[in-house]
Amino acid sequence: MLDTVTPTVVTMERATLYLGDANELLHRLGRVALVTDPPYLFDNSGGGTFRAARGASDQIVAEGLDQGFDHTIINPLLHPSVVIFCHNDQLADLLTYLNGNYRRVCVHVWIKPNPSPHRNKHYLADTEFYVVASDDISDTEFFIHAWQEGHHPVGAHPDMHRHVTAASQPSKLWGHPTVKPDAVMDKIITNVAGEIICDPFMGTGSSGVAAVKAGRRFIGIEHNPKHFATAVERLRLAHEDHVPP
Ligand SMILES: C[S@@+](CC[C@H](N)C(=O)[O-])C[C@H]1O[C@@H](n2cnc3c(N)ncnc32)[C@H](O)[C@@H]1O
């Protein structure tokens, strides 16, 4: 029960959404699976002539989405299965933490066939993926799946790939600069064990939409009131479409 801080809470049949701080709230929510896309830690300055083509850069900086997060809020006892997106620059720290605390840790990639043009005396944002047959270059973003004994990945054999391909969302979709595509979130929810999926950095609620679609329960936390309102709206729509009356 949440008693010392009283955040704004919106409850629906399969979702509970908190407007508040993940660092305050997450450890009070009990045992849940985490599926989350936290603020990345990276240098988002520069970009030169490419920056103008990457509309999201300034909003990412303005909202602090380049400042990282405290990964010790991931609790190996409370969160027996965890899927977490991260930037290249966070991989070493996150993998060290997760390897020390979880039974198995697997790195996955989301392959984006529409790479951001943002590079200036640097590589693409994450990892380049070159398709020899077509001469195409994709950008990739990492996500890590870690689990404890008894909380292994789930899903049918053909769904157990460690990659998923989907175009990045337009930078202004839902007024948020880093909305994750449905195909990516659907794949992740298909593979993660746990009846209750929690996203402590839910943004516009993409993880929640996928969880509700898949018949799971969802708990989300978001501290930005504008994005919280969008998540409430998206989760209401997901209930209309996927939860029988
Ligand atoms: C990378 S975005 C997630 C976007 C989400 N995957 C989507 O598809 O909309 C991270 C979100 O975490 C929120 N956030 C950052 N720090 C937070 C905190 N301490 N507590 C709660 N939310 C936080 C930001 O406002 C942002 O919307």
Q: What pLDDT, in 10s, does the model give residues 16-42? A: 999 999 999 999 999 999 999 999 987
Q: Does residue 2 form part of some domain?
A: no
Ramachandran angles phi, psi of 15, nearest 5° = -145, 145
**60 pLDDT band (50/70/90 cuts)?**
confident
Q: Does residue 1 form part of some domain?
A: no
Q: Which residues pair with 34 in a beta bridge?
A: 82, 198
CATH number at residue 75: 3.40.50.150
- Domain residues for 125? 8-242
CA distances from 7 to 4, 94, 194, 202 (A): 10, 29, 25, 15
What is the structure's pLDDT at 66? 86
Distance 85 CA to ligand 1 centre (A): 12
Q: Does residue 189 form part of some domain?
A: yes
What is the structure's pLDDT at 6? 60
Q: Does residue 141 form part of some domain?
A: yes
pLDDT in tens, 90-133: 999 999 999 999 999 999 999 888 766 555 555 565 566 666 66
More confident residue, 116 or 174: 174
Q: What pairing do the DSSP bridges indicate for beta strands 8-11 and 15-19?
A: antiparallel
pLDDT at 216 over 50: yes
Average pLDDT in the chain: 88
The total number of structural domains in the chain stands at 1
More confident residue, 76 or 53: 76
**84 pLDDT band (50/70/90 cuts)?**
very high
Distance 152 CA to ligand 1 centre (A): 26
Distance 224 CA to ligand 1 centre (A): 8
More confident residue, 48 or 220: 220
Residues near ligand 1 with C-beta < 6 Å?
A: 21-23, 37-39, 63, 65, 176, 178-180, 201, 203-204, 206, 221-224, 227
Three-state DSSP state, 36: strand
pLDDT at 56 over 50: yes
Give the integer Cα–Cα distance in Å for 6 and 37.
24
Report the residue among 74, 223, 232 best suited for mutation to probe ligand 1: largest number of ligand atoms under 8 A from its CB: 223
Distance 131 CA to ligand 1 centre (A): 32
Q: Which atom of ligand 1 sits closest to the CA of residue 64?
A: 15
What is the structure's pLDDT at 114? 74
pLDDT at 226 over 50: yes
pLDDT in tens, 140-149: 889 999 999 9
Three-state DSSP state, 78: coil
Distance 202 CA to ligand 1 centre (A): 5
Q: Nearest C-alpha to atom 12 of ligand 1 is from which residue?
A: 201
Three-state DSSP state, 157: helix
Q: Which residues pair with 222 in a beta bridge?
A: 19
What is the structure's pLDDT at 1? 40
pLDDT in tens, 137-170: 778 889 999 999 999 999 988 888 999 999 888 7
What is the structure's pLDDT at 52? 63
What single letter denotes the amino acid at residue 161? H
Q: What pairing do the DSSP bridges indicate for beta strands 196-199 and 33-36?
A: parallel
What is the structure's pLDDT at 121? 57
Give the integer Cα–Cα distance in Å for 81 and 87.
20
Distance 136 CA to ligand 1 centre (A): 31
Give the integer Cα–Cα distance in Å for 21 and 19.
7
